[in-house]
């Protein structure tokens, strides 16, 4: 009897020891897994996006798409560029290997000067290609057609302010194109330009220091 009772006591002790070992190992696994979960949670809360979601700025609610006033803003196309893009100028630039040229939709002598000549004169203030070439060459070729003096003289009161705007432009290229156009116009209309020269004197006066 004593031996059987001792044997049963040893078995119970062994079972208790096994249960304690299993509980200890499981607790060790849980403790090892806890830091990983804590690191994931800490990293998720420390990211800028989560922080922004948890603590949104007042400006985000008021205007989330604020435009930078100091950044480069898109500019609307000029009047000449808009007219040219819509086909309002009856010619197109043809790129050549050596030099460019204009291709007219119909012979220039059949085109009305009003308002085409004035529109080309307004394009002399452009600073980007192809508008610079189209306006300069188109103005020159239109003044070469037969009957150009009779068509250009009535337009002088409206042409002179436009040419003056090119002459006072801050861009040197625009000034040169305006001056060339004035010389070409003078050769075509002759003395009819004299009455309008007083409006150009302030533009052509050299700057003195």
Residue with tokens 């508008």: 131
SS3 72: coil
In the chain, where the domains are located: 83-202
Tell me if 169 sits within 8 A of 175, measured CB to CB: yes
Residue 78: CB partners within 8 Å, gap ≥ 6? 125, 126, 131
Determine the pLDDT at residue 68. 56
Residue 208 is predicted with a pLDDT of 44
Is residue 19 pLDDT above 60, yes or no?
A: no
Confidence of residue 14 (pLDDT cuts 50, 70, 90): low
Greater confidence (121 vs 27) lies with 121
Query: How far is Cα 61 from Cα 75, in angstroms, rounded to an integer?
Result: 28
The predicted structure's pLDDT at residue 128: 93
Confidence of residue 11 (pLDDT cuts 50, 70, 90): low
Is residue 190 classed exposed, middle or buried when 0-12, 13-18 and 19+ CB atoms within 10 A define those classes?
exposed
Secondary structure element (H or E) that encloses residue 103, with its range? strand 101-104
- Kindly state the average pLDDT of the residues 42-51: 53
Residues 156-204: tens digit of each pLDDT:
999 999 999 999 999 999 999 999 999 999 999 999 999 998 888 765 5
Statement: residue 36 has pLDDT above 50: no
Q: Residue 28: what pLDDT? A: 45
């Amino acid at each position: 009897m004593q031996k059987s009772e001792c044997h049963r006591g040893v078995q119970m002790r062994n079972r208790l020891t096994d249960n304690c070992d299993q509980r200890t190992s499981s607790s060790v696994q849980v403790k090892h897994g806890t830091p990983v979960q804590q690191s994931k949670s800490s990293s998720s809360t420390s990211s800028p996006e989560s922080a922004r979601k948890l603590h949104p700025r007042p400006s985000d609610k008021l205007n989330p798409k604020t435009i930078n006033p100091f950044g480069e803003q898109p500019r609307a196309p000029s009047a000449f560029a808009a007219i040219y893009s819509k086909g309002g100028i009856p010619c197109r630039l043809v790129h050549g290997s050596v030099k460019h040229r204009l291709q007219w939709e119909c012979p220039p002598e059949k085109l009305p000067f009003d308002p085409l000549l004035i529109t080309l004169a307004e394009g002399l203030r452009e600073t980007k290609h192809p508008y610079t070439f189209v306006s300069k060459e188109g103005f020159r070729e239109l003044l070469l057609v037969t009957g150009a003096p009779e068509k250009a003289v009535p337009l002088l009161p409206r042409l002179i302010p436009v040419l003056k705007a090119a002459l006072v432009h801050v861009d040197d290229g625009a000034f040169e194109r305006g001056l060339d156009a004035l010389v070409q116009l003078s050769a075509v209309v002759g003395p009819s330009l004299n009455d309008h020269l007083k409006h150009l004197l302030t533009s052509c006066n050299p700057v003195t220091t």
